[in-house]
């Protein structure tokens, strides 16, 4: 799981949002980059939530300190078909090291 965290430099307040699946990481990275450009007084980042087998939180780390490998799967058949065809079996995932 991941979540977006932020620090408001004007009020000196740290806060964070709700937990999100790791599969949303690409969208969250883009959103964080845009927010950091748009609102310079607030620093946004993504945190990785480490859990054990019982789903208890072990640690929460800044994603920048975590090693991730982006995995992208494309269906070759879909690449050759027209743009209107369903590409639902294409996906992006991340391997956490």
Domain that holds residue 80: 67-97
Taking a C-beta distance cutoff of 8 angstroms, is the pair 46, 29 a contact? yes
pTM confidence score: 0.66
- pLDDT for 35 equals 96
Taking a C-beta distance cutoff of 8 angstroms, is the pair 94, 25 a contact? yes
Same domain, 71 and 24: no
Tokens (6 digits) for 3 = 């979540």
Higher pLDDT, 95 or 36: 36
Same domain, 62 and 79: no
Same domain, 27 and 54: yes
Same domain, 73 and 96: yes
Same domain, 78 and 50: no
Q: Is residue 84 left, alpha or beta, with left meaning phi > 0 and alpha meaning psi from -120 to 50?
A: alpha
- Domain total in the chain: 2
Q: What is the pLDDT of residues 1-49, one digit of tens each?
A: 899 999 999 999 999 999 999 889 889 999 999 999 999 999 999 998 8
């Amino acid at each position: 799981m991941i979540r977006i965290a932020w620090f408001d430099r004007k009020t000196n307040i740290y806060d964070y949002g709700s937990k999100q699946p790791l599969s949303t990481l690409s969208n969250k990275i883009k959103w964080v980059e845009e927010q950091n450009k748009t609102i310079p007084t607030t620093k946004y980042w993504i945190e990785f939530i480490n859990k054990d087998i019982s789903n208890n939180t072990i640690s929460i780390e800044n994603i920048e300190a975590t090693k991730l490998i982006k995995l992208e799967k494309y269906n070759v058949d879909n690449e050759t078909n027209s743009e209107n065809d369903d590409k639902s079996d294409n996906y992006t995932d991340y391997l956490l090291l």
